[in-house]
Every structure is written in C-alpha cells, then in structure tokens.
Structure 1
Amino acid sequence: MVEAAAVLARCAQHVLGAPLPLRIRAWDGSVSGPVEGPELVVRNRRAVRRLLWQPGELGLARGWVAGDLAIGGDLYEALDRLAGLLWERDGDAGRSFAAARVVEALRAPGTVRDVRELLALVRHPMPPRPPAEEVPHRRGRAHTLGRDRAAISHHYDVGNDFYALVLGPSLVYSCGYWESAPPSFGATLEKAQYDKLNLVCRKLALRPGQRLLDVGCGWGSMAVHAALEHEVHVVGVTLSEEQAALARDRVADMGLSDRIEIRVQDYREVADGPYDAISSIGMAEHVGAQGYLAYARQLYRLLRPEGRLLNHQIARRPLRSEQSYRMNGFIDRYVFPDGELAPVGSTVSLLEEAGFEVRDVEVLREHYALTLRAWVANLEANWHEAVRLTSPGRARVWRLYMAASALGFEHNAMGVNQVLAVKTTPDGVSGIARGRRW
C-alpha cells in the first residue's frame, strides 16, 4: 500500500530541490520527514489538488483557510522553516513558485513513478473552489473610489466585535510603541498603543483648539486620544461603515461629539481645510504606487503653512527592478486587496516632491513584531469566540497573516516607519524647533 506522506515528501523534494523541512502527516495516518519540530498536516486529498493547481504560497494558503491543511506544533517555527524555501526562494522579486517550474521539476528523470503515485492519490482531477473568504475576481482599474471602498469593506467590515477581540480594548490597528520591551517585563498591548498615540500627538505638536485630520481613522482611537489628551478638534475619515458606526458610538459615549466628527469619506473627497495637523496611521498602504504622489499632494493642500503630517506606514525592502511591491498572493486575496508596499526612501521622495519638508523618520520595525505576536495571542486565547463571530476560515486567515507578518518584521523583510513632514511657509519657516523635542 502506498503511503501518502512518503509520496508527498518525495514530490515536494523534487520541486524544492531539498527535503521539506517539516514532517508530513497525511490523511491516511502515514508520516514522513523530520522527527523533531512542527509538522504539516494534510487532512485530505483536496489539499493536494489545491497545491497541484496553484503551486506555492497561494495553494498552501487556500488549503490552510479551507482547513485542508494545518500545522501541528509551533506555527511560528513552521512558517520560519518554510519561508526560505517558499516565500524567499525566488529572490527579491519572486514570492511563489511558478507553475511552469513545478511542471518542469515533476517531469525530470526519476520522478515519473512519484508523479503517477501523486496523481493516483488525488483521484479527482478538477481544481477545488477557493474558500469563501477569498476576494472574488476584481474588475476595472485598481484604486478607483469604488474599488477602494470594496477593498476596505472586505478587510474591515467583518464585525467590530471580532476586531475588539483581536486588538484588545485600545482598538488600535497599527503597531504599538513598546517603550519597555520585552513585554514580559510589565508592558501591555494597551500601554504600547497608548504610548504610540501619544508619540504621534507629540510629533504633531498638537495644541488646544487646533484642527486635526485623521486619515483612515479606524474605530476612532486616535481621534479620541487627541481630543481628550490635547483638546483638539478632529475630523476622522474612513471608508468602512462598520468602523465609522462604532467610532461615532465611542465618541458619543465619551461626550466628545462637539470635538470629533467621524465621516465615511475618501481622503480624496476631503475639501474643508486648512488643518493644523494630519495623522495618517496605517492607511497609506492602501493608496497604491500610482496614486501616492496625488495622495501626498492632497494632504499638502489640506494643511496650513507650518502644518505637520505624521505618516505611519509599512514599508518593504528595496527591490532591484520595482519601485513598489504588490502584496503577495495570500495577502492580496485574503487580507488587503490591492494593497501595495514601497521602500521608505520612495515614500520620503514622493512626500518631498509633493512639497513637504521631511523632518524625521523613526523606524518601528521591532515594535510591530511585538504587537503582532500580542494580537496572535489574543486570537488564540479566544479562538472559539473568534470563529463564532466570523467563520473558521476568517479566523485562520488572521492567524496565518499575523503570525507570518510578525516573522517578516523580525527578519527585516518588512519595516514600518513614522515620517514627520511639514508644510513650510513660502520663506521656508517650518515652526519646528531644532532637535527631537517631542
């Protein structure tokens, strides 16, 4: 009798050019691979069909989201072992296996028997349907007003209760600022998020009575913090109906309706400047490379002279031939449709081309790794409730996305930066004191 795990292990080695660094446990009870460490659990034949029809990252992701594949043991260790063979194998620009390369590997001499046994295991030749959580086929040009609204809705309109469970009471969906790290020394996620919001406000030098525009305001945490702690008037804009509804409730409950206005509005539609300051925290990743200069120019127009912008944005390492980086297959299909990352140098250059003077760049890469691990811990500790609030597939999406992203930040595959920029007066006055006074 042919053991499924052994066949899968041999075929994986043909494609990878090296043994799979995880033990395989197949649906027939067979096991193959390293004795120590985590294992890849192949629960059914459908998982194999997914990988045959979509080799590499997207096939693995679909199997994971559908529950056809699972990880036994430490998820972080498993992803770390796979990263070098899958996500990083094709160099800077490549992020998954090309189907042609898989076919070429499986046609190589000595693989015929293994391929035949693999096809016999699969039985049904047709590709399985993608999980329901996958974004359907998108039409038209990326980053139009309508398509951006649909992309934001896919990611954020999945239930405020689910986000509260993952993010914790702060309801801040960007990296915290862990002033006392490691977090086991007494720091908490809520304290880290408070410190991050406070840092943003200090960099913006907010004063009572000023007007702040919070672009991509989420559930209103930055707006509430700025209004309470710094007595400013805030306009927060988001494209998510669910975010806006909860943000308005929070504002009303705190008696801040006279200071905070929450709008369902695209930043491109804001026309009531000038503002004294603008915060954009974790929003610019949705803008896209083609529209980034227009984004920067719009924010520049909305500021008064000496007004400040704090742009908090995830970045990618520079690539040899591309200025921007489209999110990989899993992230684009399940997490952030149409999201794009760019190197921090490109961001700084475009902000300056729009007219800003960039005054400071602070790297928070390690802070995001700590934040993501805290979010994963929240999700895992409340797994059954998370599944009840959304779906098993959606909970799996979030667990994989956050755990893999934590490793990406830890290994410097991704970064996150706070860029402080100012709209100087015509004669070059910035209003910013020398040195990092915040």
Structure 2
Amino acid sequence: MTTASMNTSGEGISITRDMYEQVMTPNYAPMAILPERGQGCRLWDTDGKEYLDFAGGIAVSVLGHAHPELIKALTDQANKFWHLSNFLTNKPAIQLAKTLCESTFAERVFLANSGAEVNEAALKLARRYAIDKHGKNKIEILAFDNAFHGRTWFTVCVGGQPKYSDGFGPKPGGISHRPFNDATAVKKYFTEQGDKVCAVIVEPVQGEGGVTPATAEFVQTIRECCDTHNALMIFDEIQTGVGRSGKLYTYEKLAVTPDILTTAKALGGGFPISAMLTTEEIASSLVVGTHGSTFGGNPMACAVACKVLELINTPEMLSGVETKSHQMIDGLKAINQKHNVFDDIRGVGLLLGCEMNAHYKDRAREVLSACTENGLLVLVAGANVVRLAPPLNISESEINQGLALMDNAIQHL
C-alpha cells in the first residue's frame, strides 16, 4: 500500500476483530469480541452485546468505564496542554506527588507510565543507593518464585516466572529467588548473603502468580531482615494499590512500611501512569541525570490520577470495598457448593482468585471463555486460577448479576 492510498484517520474503514491478526504482533491472544464502548461496569461490543466487567482491564479500570469526573479532569487539562518535557514541570504532576506523599509513608515521588517502568526505577534506585552507602558489592536483589514485576528485561528477570524470561539470551546477574510466603527461606538467605543484599522486592498479593496473598509473618520477616542487613524493602503494589484491598495501599493491612513502593494500573483509572514512592534519604541517590522518562509526569495523566485518588481515598469507598469483597466471596462459595469446581477462593478486597480443583485442573481459560459467552468478563492468573478484579464502585446488584452469569457459565462448561 502506498502512502497516498493509506487512510490514516480511519474514516470510511470498517475495523473488524479479524484484522487483528493481520496487523498486530502475535504475543497476545485476545478474545474474539471487539469492544465498542463502555459505561460504568459494562461494555458493549460492535455487535451490540452487553458484558458485565469483572476484569476491570486487569485491575486498572478502578472506577469503571467513562467515569464522568475522570473525563472532565482529562478534558480540562487537554484544553490547556498535553505534554511538556522533564525540562519543565507542571501543576498536575506536583499536585499528584503531593497527594501521594500526604496519603502514604512517602516523601518523594518519581512518575512514569507503567508498572514495569516504576519497578525498573525502584530496582535501579535500590542498587544505586546501596552502592552509594555501602559499596559496590551490595547489589543482590531477592525476589520470589511466581512473582511478576513487569516485562522490561530487568523486571522480567527479577520476576519469578522463567516462562516470561527464558529464550532471550543471557540474564542479568545479582538476582535470587526463594519460595513465596516462606519466612524461613528468607532468614536463611539473609544469613548466607545478607552483606550483599541491596533490596527485597515483594508483592503483597501475587497477582499473575495466582492471586496469593502474602502472610503477615512473611512480610514482617522481610522487614526485619532488611533492617538488620541494611537492605531496602520494595513493595510492588502495581495490582493491589489505589484501594483494591480496602486500604489505599495494602502495606497498611500488613503492619509493615516499605522503603520503596510502586503503583500503577488503577492510579490513572485507565489512563497510563505510574509512580515510585520513597523517602527523601533514599531518593537522594537519584541525582540529576541518573534516571528519567520522556512521558513521565504527563499533565493529562496526572490530572486524571489526582481525581482518581480524590474519589477512591475516602472512608466510604474503602469500607465499601470490604463489604463488596465479602459479598463476592459468599457468592463464589455458593457457586462452588453447587458445582464443585474450586479448591480455594482467596485474595484481598476486590482482587480475588478462584483456584480450580483437581477435576478442572488447568481449565481456568475455559471458564473465562464460558463466562465471556455468557456476557461476563473475567481474568485468569495462570492456567489454574480464575481472577476477578471489578471496579471498586460496582453495585451490589451488579455483583449479584455477575455471579449469576458465572454460575450459568460454569453450569454449561
């Protein structure tokens, strides 16, 4: 096709789902539907079929689709300017960082665009800080089996799932993995390697790894070992942050305070943005020129994120998450009593995982497909766990409707 014949605006072109395989790289396997529009907890495809959304864009659409206050925040800023650069700052970026500091343990914030980017920043900062304070040999990073921290080369290797990092050549060194929720293994590792460890990175709930919550003993052991051996504790709250657990950030539920926290996904309610939170002392190692991001601190993204935090970080919204979580868990247990498909139902707040039992082992994707056919969007976390991450403002009646759709889907599986 010549440049002259290309219609870059898309006008007059009928876009179909079948075109996906013709123009996109094959690293995803999206469902056969093609969404047309969304409103609240609902989506409609190009055929006009309605879906109730229990997937939330993988825990991103924290206030559903097309929320009017987020649209206003976006368009108000869009009418001022879209982008500057990191040679300038902007009011929404400063306001967002100020709000995050006032709402958490943090004193300094670095803004970027995705979870992988801020995890990359956190890992780089941890090494830089350790080298500055303790010498060039203190670079070891401890992570955990089945963890997921992003798709950049550094973060995918720190993540504890070799299926995502194998096949790309030599991996960076200075990274170790131990079993998740094994406090004894953490203590043993620090006994042997403590002088070399610069940081431990952990998810309070392993999302991609099966929606498995960390125990209080496990994270408290990590905190104690880090304190004893001058290592930093990094909390990856990409999936659990911004109210998902019933707290603004899940560390508040676990009686520990990390040195660095990463947040993304729900922070922009669907608009790409992420943040790394840390203390003034630790942040001091990121001197001018040590790290950056072309689009980090984008004014439109920051304006939306400010509004998201304003709407989410209220007692009413956060307590509502706990109430809705109990409602969903009770409904899932009722489905399981009826159909006997799950071995375990677990998670925190409105991030829940249903582990398939032996009879339905590794058939989570079939449940996803059956739910989609019945008008319910869900997720998987590996081959054996169905994952649910609906918007936090989902109503009681929408929860009941979604559970009924799941019940019907599993009945016909």
TM-score (norm 1): 0.26
TM-score (norm 2): 0.27
Larger Rg: 1
Answer 1 or 2: higher relative contact order, Cα 8 Å, separation at least 6: 2
